[in-house]
Every structure is written in structure tokens, then in C-alpha cells.
Amino acid sequence: MPIGAVELPSRGHWAPSFAIPRGRSSPSPITKTKSPAEFFAENKNIAGFDNPGKSLYTTVRELVENSLDSAESISELPVVEITIEEIGKSKFNSMIGLVDRERVDTKLYDDYETEKARERRLAKEARAQELQAKNAALGKKVKEPSATKGAKGRGEASFYRVTCKDNGKGMPHDDIPNMFGRVLSGTKYGLKQTRGKFGLGAKMALIWSKMSTGLPIEISSSMRSHNFISFCKLDIDIHRNIPHVHLHEKRENKDRWHGAEIQVVIEGNWTTYRSKILHYMRQMAVITPYAQFLFKFVSEVAEKNVTIRFSRRTDVMPPVPVETKHHPSSVDLLLIKGLIAETSKGTLLQFLQHEFVNIGKSLAERLIGEMGPEFSPKMAVKSLTSQQIVRIHQLFRQAKFDDPSGGCLSPAGEYNLRLGIIKELHPDMVATYSGSAQVFEGHPFIVEAGVSVGGKDVKQGLNIFRFANRIPLLFEQGGDVVTRTAMKRINWSSYKINQTQDKIGVFVSIVSTKIPFKGTGKEYIGDDTKEIASAVKCCIQLKSKIVRKIQDREQQERKRNLSRYVPDATYAVYDVLKEISKFHASKKRRYEEEEEDVLRKVQSRSITKETLKEMLAQYVEKVDYEMALEYATQSGVNEEPREAIYIQALEDGYNFTDLHSSNFVFRFIQ
């Protein structure tokens, strides 16, 4: 394969055509071939490397998703450690062997402060200080003076070392250079639900590191069977799209670790993308509760450090998604040609029968009959002309096929989604739903949804969590089908949920062999795909479940809610009674005997506020008891099915003191 020619992107659905730029300003008539690596370097925004901040975010997520894929592929519960280390300028310089130089000609720099500007700044600072002193004297809360950073010049980039370690499959020693140092070098063929966006993974991070810091990427890896660790230090030759290996060696594997550890130094921006990265980790923890994440941010300034552990809450892992064949109504012309080129089958009949799902022998024969007289079941598939392939394509689009099954998909699972929500949000209540497989343009998809109310660190109103193929989507929320459905098409008040006051979490996870992303960034799913929109709507309408939960909660809280109003009501009544009894003395008005009696008692203070309050409270108690009884007889005692809980195993090396009973044992760690 010549350099520059590209295989079909394996995981991607997005086939970039590396068209040759013609007749730009260059006078040379020779057309220049552009390597895929070059293409992505120039269009890095497509892969989510728009700016340093987003690049840091995308690097983290690519590494994390690779790690999860890798661990899941060998059915290992994932343990992922991700560390972002801030690197100061001088440290960075020393890393690349550059000597720190003092500025000599200060006026040369962009952030040079003129005399006037300096005066102004000093005056402003003095004022601020004065104000602060005043505030402090008045005992007001003193606000931390915002870090007076000078406007960062362009030269003041921040650099970060991102390290991601997992317990996955690892990589074969000899393949490592090509896996990282060549863009779109995948060889897989077929269709599968995958996390990755473009199949670029860490490669794009490598290109970015090459562009921003020039430092190589470091990879350590070991596979289960290996007794050594492969260590590789490499960068990429962007123009030729080949790896440039600095160091590739085998090292000792003392603690029988398997997995991969990737370390890359890139330019980034932690300040602006901090919350995005943390959100990403949190949402990832929601959708993959069976994984354990350790996220660390290490900075030179100690108080900026962040360490978050997202612990494992279950050991149930969704099955590994199965590779499947293409559905005839989903293929395009190019793909048919590609399949023909790759197939091992000789005849057209066999080709149709074996390279596609939902085409049986009889259907294949019928299809060939329909194609026209120049087609026959026995004809060699490789001999098809372009016109004939177009005919096949046309027929595929028009003919009716059974829908593909969702068997090849790997949804998060209702259980896991629910656990994830409970684990990360601690909601007051949660309801989840898992839809059955449906079809969009020949690709099966499954929608799962959850709705939570209340919880920790959840803001008021709708909080929408979107997942596509089990990865969180954080950007471009506004146009997304989930957001729009939740905001516009769901009548929350019919669930007795207040859309603006309650803390509502909406979780929607869509898995498919092809997610119909919109926009170049692949960050949101279009609202115009009706099938998905209606599936999402169905899912979020967990009406019966939510209403039931709310009823349950109301039952529990009825007494409290009723009692809350007892004082207000009784005081109001008593106020009037007191007034009446005052005037009653003057006998302005005649009352019935019982009323007279009440008024006399009020006057003699044998009926007081407290009497009324007590009586009303007693009544509430009585009613509550009656209603609870009624509710119990109506709804029966069918509680929710019990769920197995997962208790994380302790690591070895503890001494226990056991306290035995006939039914259980208490173990205390010494």
C-alpha cells in the first residue's frame, strides 16, 4: 500500500477523502499527495483538537476510552488511572533541553507594560488594596484577590503530561510502533459498536504532542502471557505517516502487570477545561460503574491538586460488542466495492449470502433474479462491473429486508445504568428503562434511559447526561435529540416533577453500530432522526415508575408534610377565636350554645393555641394511619425486586478479628 493511500477507516463511519489539493497558489503542476496524518494535523478540529484546552480534554478521553476498550476485550474489570501533571515553563524547557533565557529587550514582547499602563495598574491595585482593608476593618468577608495574572502572552503556553494506565490487554511488542505511529492503520473489517470516534485514539494525541511540544510519546505495555514489559518511545513522521521510533525495548515485569501505560506531553489548558474533564470522568463513572477510575491532577501549586477516585460498584460487565456484517440497506456504493474486494467468496450468490446480515439463500436468489438478466447466482463476484454494482446498490436501497437484530450491541444495561446513577449522584429516587432494539438506516440501536430526582452535586432543573456507545457527550448539548426531547416534548408536570425547582437528572444512553452524529465534532445526535427521537421520548417517559415512586415517597412523607401546616392553620384559627371571645364579652352577637361554650373556654384559657394544635396533630396522625393502611391494602406488599449489591473486595494483607454469630460474622480490620 503506497504511503498516502488510505484503507477504509475501520471503526469510523466517516470516510475522509484525502483529495489532493489542486491548483492552489502553488505553481507546481505536480499534485502533492497528502498523508492521512497530515490531513488530521491540518484539520485537527474534526477530531476534537480545536484549541489547547479541548485538546487536553480530548487526549484524556481518547486514552480513557482506549483503556476501557482494552480491558473489556479481555473481560477484565477495568482499572484506569489517569494523571495530568502540570509542567511549568522552565521545567518544560529543561525537558526539551532548552536553556531558560531572561528577557533582554523587554519592549520586544507582546505583554510589555508601558510606563503609563504600569502607573494605571499600580493605582488600580492600590485602590483595590484600600477597599480590601476597609472591608476587612468592617468585618466583611474578604474576597480572595483574584490571582493577578498578567495577560498571558502567546508564548506562555501551559504544558501537561498526561499519563493513562490500565489493566487491559496490552499490545504485542512488535506492533506498538505501527499502532501509534501510523494514522488509520487499522485492519479490522466489519461493523461493530465501538467507543472510538474516528479510530484515531491516541494517535491524534500523538500528532498534537508533536505539533505543540515535539516530545515523543512513551508507551509501556505487557500482555497477559508476557513476562516482560515492552517500552517504546516514539513520535510520528507526519508527512510520511510512519512511526519514528526513539527507543523500543523489553523490560522486566516484576509484578506481573498486564495492560498499557501511555504517557504524552502536550500543550493544554487546565483552567478552562477543568470542569469539562471532571464532568467527563463523572459521567464515565455513571455509565461504567464496573470500572474503577483514579483521576489525579498534579500541579506545582499544591492547592490546585485534584484527586478523585471513582470506585467500582459492580462486577457485572456488559458483553463485548460483537462484530457483525453489514445490513444491506445501510451500505453505500464504496462499501460494496470494498466488500467485493475483500471477500473470500467466489460467486455472487455466496457473496450476498455471507457478507450481509438478513440475506438468506432464497432471498439472495430472489434478489439476483430481480437484478436483471445479466446477473446470475453463479457469476464470479469479482467480475462485476461498476454499473452492475450500482444496480446492486439500487436494489439494496429499494428492497425490503428484515431489520437487523440488536444482538451485536452491548448496551450498558439497565442494572449498570441504575447503579451508576445511584453511585455518582445519590438521588432520592431513580427510575430506569431499557428499550428494545430498533433500526435506523439499517443500523440497529438501543436506547436506555434513566430519570433521577434529587441528589448530591446536582443543580436545580434539568441535568442531562448523554451517552453514545457508552461514552459521555459533553459538547453541543443544545441541538441534541436528548436535550430537545427532555426540554420540549416531555411534560414533566404530569410526573409531578417541577421542571425548574426539582433536581432532575436525565440519562440517555444510545448504542448503535452507527450513531447518527451531527456536525463535524461528533458531539451530538441530530434531532431530525425521527426513529431515535421517538425512542428517546418513549424511554424518558418512565411515567408509571416515577409516579409510583413519588406515591411511595408521598406515603412516607405524608405525615411530615401534613404536620408542617398544623401550626399555621391552628394559629390562624386561634387568632380569630381570641378576637371573637374579646367581643363576646360585650354580647354584641348571639351564638349557639356550642359556640358559646367554645368561646367561654377560649376566654378562660382552657382552650389555647396548643389545644387546637394538639387536636389537629392527633387528627393528622389518625388520617395518616388510615391512609397508610388503605395504601398498603391497595398496592399490596410487592416491593421492588431485590438487587444484588456488590461489595468491593478488600485487598489482601489485613489481619482480622472475627466476631461469630449463628448467622453472620463481623470482621474487624486490625
Partner 1 sequence: MADKKLKQKRRRPDPTSDDESELPFKNILKPDQAILETLKQLFLAATTTTTAAANGASTSSSSSKPLTLSDLSLSATCREVTDLSLSAVQSTIETLILQIARSILAGNGFSFQVPSRASSNQLYVPELDRIVLKDKTTLRPFASLSTVRKSTITVKILSLIHQLCLRNIHVTKRDLFYTDVKLFQDQTQSDAVLDDVACILGCTRSSLNVIAAEKGVVVGRLIFSDNGDMIDCTKMGMGGKAIPPNIDRVGDMQSDAMFILLVEKDAAYIRLAEDRFYNRFPCIIVTAKGQPDVATRLFLRKMKMELKLPVLALVDSDPYGLKILSVYGCGSKNMSYDSANLTTPDIKWLGIRPSDLDKYKIPEQCRLPMTEQDIKTGKDLLEEDFVKKNPGWVEELNLMVKTKQKAEIQALSSFGFQYLSEVYLPLKLQQKDWL
| Interacting residue ranges for partner 1, rule: CB under 8 A | 554, 558, 561-562, 565, 568-570, 572-573, 575-577, 579-580, 589, 591, 594-595, 598-599, 607, 611-612, 615-616, 618-620, 622-623
Pairing of strands 503-512, 461-468: parallel
- Pick the closer one to partner 1 by CB: 568 or 651: 568
Minimum CB separation of residue 618 from partner 1 in Å reads 6
- CB-facing half-sphere around the CA of 529: CA atoms within 13 A: 23
Minimum CB separation of residue 504 from partner 1 in Å reads 20
In the chain, the largest separation of any two C-alpha atoms, in whole Å, equals 115
Distances (CA, A) of 88 to 22, 100, 118, 157: 43, 12, 26, 9
Whether 203 contacts 183, CB under 8 Å: yes
Minimum CB separation of residue 527 from partner 1 in Å reads 20
Minimum CB separation of residue 592 from partner 1 in Å reads 9
How many C-beta neighbours within 10 Å does residue 472 have?
20
Output DSSP code: residue 261.
E
Minimum CB separation of residue 486 from partner 1 in Å reads 23
Whether 326 contacts 357, CB under 8 Å: yes
Tell me which residue has cell 503542476.
Answer: 29
- Pick the closer one to partner 1 by CB: 489 or 564: 564
Minimum CB separation of residue 572 from partner 1 in Å reads 4
Minimum CB separation of residue 597 from partner 1 in Å reads 9
Minimum CB separation of residue 588 from partner 1 in Å reads 9
- Pick the closer one to partner 1 by CB: 348 or 607: 607
Tell me which residue has cell 494605571.
Answer: 120
- Pick the closer one to partner 1 by CB: 10 or 603: 603
What amino acid is encoded at 308 in this protein? Answer: I
- Pick the closer one to partner 1 by CB: 456 or 589: 589
Minimum CB separation of residue 489 from partner 1 in Å reads 18
For residue 619, how far is the Cα from the chain centroid? 50
Give 472's contacts (C-beta < 8 A, 6+ positions apart).
Answer: 279, 280, 283, 284, 286, 287, 465, 466
Q: Helix (H) and strand (E) counts for the chain?
A: 18, 18
- Pick the closer one to partner 1 by CB: 528 or 597: 597
Closest CA to 308 of 269, 280, 266, 272: 280
Whether 496 contacts 550, CB under 8 Å: yes
Beta strands, E only, 478-613: 503-512, 517-518, 524-525
Helix (H, G, I), strand (E, B) or coil at 77: coil
* Angle subtended at Cα 185 by Cα 182 and Cα 188, rounded to the nearest 5 degrees: 160
What amino acid is encoded at 71 in this protein? Answer: A
- Pick the closer one to partner 1 by CB: 87 or 566: 566
What amino acid is encoded at 601 in this protein? Answer: K
- Pick the closer one to partner 1 by CB: 14 or 591: 591
Distance CA 259, CA 196 (A): 18
**End-to-end CA, the chain:** 63
Phi-psi region for residue 256, left (φ > 0), alpha (ψ -120 to 50) or beta?
A: left
- Pick the closer one to partner 1 by CB: 520 or 561: 561
Minimum CB separation of residue 564 from partner 1 in Å reads 8
Minimum CB separation of residue 266 from partner 1 in Å reads 52
Closest CA to 68 of 360, 292, 343, 389: 292
- Pick the closer one to partner 1 by CB: 109 or 571: 571
- Pick the closer one to partner 1 by CB: 332 or 597: 597
